[in-house]
Structure 1
Amino acid sequence: MRLILEILLMGLAVFLGAKLVPGVEVDGYTSALIAALLIALANATIGFILRILTFPINFLTLGLVSFIISVLMIMLVDRMMSGFSTSGFLAAAILAIVVAIIKAIFGAIAGSDKD
């Protein structure tokens, strides 16, 4: 149940982020939900492998490489989907920051009670 809620909130975060960030377009909440799911899957698979391979550099840059990998996963989903688009790296980076902030706000509102 919590996983479904996380996916729905991520979709809402992508939808709101697309409304706030210039250069990011989403066709509707359904497209935002699919984009959120694809971003999560890309981060969990390709992003995970890249983070393992770049761990020493990521450690030295205090996580900057991990952020760049997340931005690249957003850009990958942009290429995969027709209902979600970004105008470039900067728009994807701002979207990643906005989505992280929105997810943090949702997390603070929902609380951190364990199931």
Structure 2
Amino acid sequence: MNKEEILNKSRSENKNGDEREKALEQRASQNAYIAIMFVFLGLAIISFIQEAITGASFIDYQICSLAFLVGFAGRHITFYINTKDKLNLYIFVGSVIISIMILTRLILKA
């Protein structure tokens, strides 16, 4: 193999990006997802407790719960599609059902 053939082969193998960069991007996305989920879950819990104690809250806990559940459902449907693990499917379906119930309650309350 001459220099040009090696370079062309290397370019064709790396046309979709460097493996290290892909791994870093995936790790960053996972960390961001986890952080966002903890924020929504924390806000939902704090808001729920605040509303139970004082009768009012700085934010509607149902909105935070809905955001958490939508993210949770998205994560588990992705896992189910890639692994065909039934538990992920059940978690997805449960999350969607609860999300629809919360959304319906929010709409009817408004």
Question: Structure 1 length normalisation: TM-score?
Answer: 0.30
Q: Which structure features the higher share of helix residues?
A: 2
Q: Which has the larger radius of gyration?
A: 2
TM-score (norm 2): 0.31
Asked which structure has the greater RCO (Cα within 8 Å, sep 6+), the reply is: 1
Larger relative strand fraction? 1
